[in-house]
Amino acid sequence: MTDKTYQPTVAGLRAFAAVAEKQHFGSAATTLGVSQSTLSQALAALETGLGVQLIERSTRRVFLTPEGRQLLPHAQAAIDAVDAFTAAAAGASDPLEGSMRLGLIPTVAPYVLPTVLGGLADRLPALTLRVVEDQTERLLAALREGALDAALIALPAEASGITEIPIYDEDFVLALPPGHPLSGKRRVPPAALAQLPLLLLDEGHCLRDQALDLCRKAGIQAEVANTRAASLATAVQCVTGGLGVTLIPQSAVAVEAARSRLGLAQFATPRPGRRIGLVFRSSSGRDAAYRRLAAIIGELVSRDQDVRLVR
């Protein structure tokens, strides 16, 4: 009679399933990597605990009892569930072998995602990414709330409880209407922005703040254009239409210049720019994994973009 308080051990279930498959105690023990006596003890303990004979033994053969045939599928399902649980735990311990929610700011996502997603699929095949594009402050809020695991943003984040891993630096390029006198120049002083209608992204975009900071550092009062754009792509189209000039990161140049008649100019050295990095909750305990991820992203982006890795 079965003791209803009895809980089978995984070792007992594995012993039962192995003997049922091999129909030989020696072969079953070899499969499990245990001694034959250990296997026999585990199976006997299972049968005693259940109050059911699962295996019929004779001097010549081993085979399942009717009860054993009935219970075998349940034993195998339990073993599969334990194996799945162990695999899931292994994935949870390594965030690069499971699902990850990655945020990106709008002036990064369209330009590096094709490279990053394709490269990560090859380098980290067990990683499944869910991408969220949003402005910096909302990404940081989602990080703090646990709605995101990590994010690619412009540094510094200057946020408490957030760890920053710098990845790459890139220059800002001056985007101009077609045929503009500065188009093609390679040493434009930032002070030249004082005479140009500067088209900015909407408030909340870090690129807007960076453009205004560049003007402050150059000691000028920018002539801000009346037009504002919700995305860098829209800003570029406005520039192409003669509504002003704007700054675009180097990583966006190839894409934006390819789909418009945009004029481009380089700033004089030291060229203004920005630093992009990976941020995550300091309390997550995933520093090593995210530093590995950041290094891989840096390698992928630097291979296809004119950026400088942070060493």
Give mean pLDDT, residues 281-294: 92
Q: Which helix (H) or strand (E) holds 249?
A: strand 246-249
Confidence bin at 216 (pLDDT 50/70/90):
confident
Query: What mean pLDDT value characterizes the chain?
Result: 89
Alpha carbons 170 and 263: distance in angstroms, whole number:
19
Question: What confidence score (pLDDT) does residue 90 get?
Answer: 61
Token duo for residue 189: 């002083």
Question: What confidence score (pLDDT) does residue 81 get?
Answer: 87
Q: In the predicted model, is pLDDT for residue 304 greater than 70?
A: yes
Confidence bin at 110 (pLDDT 50/70/90):
very high
Q: In the predicted model, is pLDDT for residue 3 greater than 70?
A: no
Question: What confidence score (pLDDT) does residue 215 get?
Answer: 86
Q: In the predicted model, is pLDDT for residue 212 greater than 90?
A: no
Alpha carbons 25 and 102: distance in angstroms, whole number:
50
**Residue scoring higher pLDDT (79 or 90):** 79
The helix/strand/coil state of 59 is coil
Q: What is the pTM of this model?
A: 0.70
Alpha carbons 191 and 196: distance in angstroms, whole number:
10
Q: In the predicted model, is pLDDT for residue 154 greater than 70?
A: yes
**Residue scoring higher pLDDT (106 or 86):** 106
Q: In the predicted model, is pLDDT for residue 59 greater than 80?
A: no
In sequence order, what DSSP letters do the residues of 78-97 get, joined into one string?
HHHHHHHHHHHHHHHHSTTS
Question: What confidence score (pLDDT) does residue 274 get?
Answer: 94
Give mean pLDDT, residues 102-110: 95
**Residue scoring higher pLDDT (195 or 88):** 195
Angle at the Cα of 282 from the Cα atoms of 280 and 288, rounded to 5 degrees? 75
Given the structure tokens 């408490």, which residue do they identify?
Answer: 160
Closest by CA to 278, choosing from 307, 310, 231, 251, is 310
Give mean pLDDT, residues 44-68: 89
Q: In the predicted model, is pLDDT for residue 1 greater than 60?
A: no
Alpha carbons 277 and 154: distance in angstroms, whole number:
6
Q: Specify whether the CB–CB gap between 281 and 162 falls below 8 A.
A: yes
- Whether 10-90 shares its CATH topology with 94-310 is answered no
Torsion sign (Cα): 150, 151, 155, 158:
negative
pLDDT one-digit tens code per residue, 157-211: 988 889 999 999 999 999 999 999 999 999 999 888 888 888 888 888 888 889 8
Confidence bin at 221 (pLDDT 50/70/90):
confident
- Architecture of 10-90 per CATH? Orthogonal Bundle (1.10)
Token duo for residue 270: 């030291």
Q: In the predicted model, is pLDDT for residue 63 greater than 90?
A: no
Question: What confidence score (pLDDT) does residue 92 get?
Answer: 60
pLDDT one-digit tens code per residue, 222-280: 667 777 788 899 999 999 998 989 999 999 999 988 888 899 999 998 999 999 999 99
Give mean pLDDT, residues 93-110: 89
Alpha carbons 80 and 77: distance in angstroms, whole number:
5
Given the structure tokens 């994010």, which residue do they identify?
Answer: 151
- Locate the domains of the chain by residue range: 10-90, 94-310
Token duo for residue 208: 């807007």
Residue 107: φ, ψ to 5°: -90, 5
CATH fold for the domain made of 94-310:
D-Maltodextrin-Binding Protein; domain 2 (3.40.190)
What are residue 198's DSSP bridge partners?
Answer: 224, 245
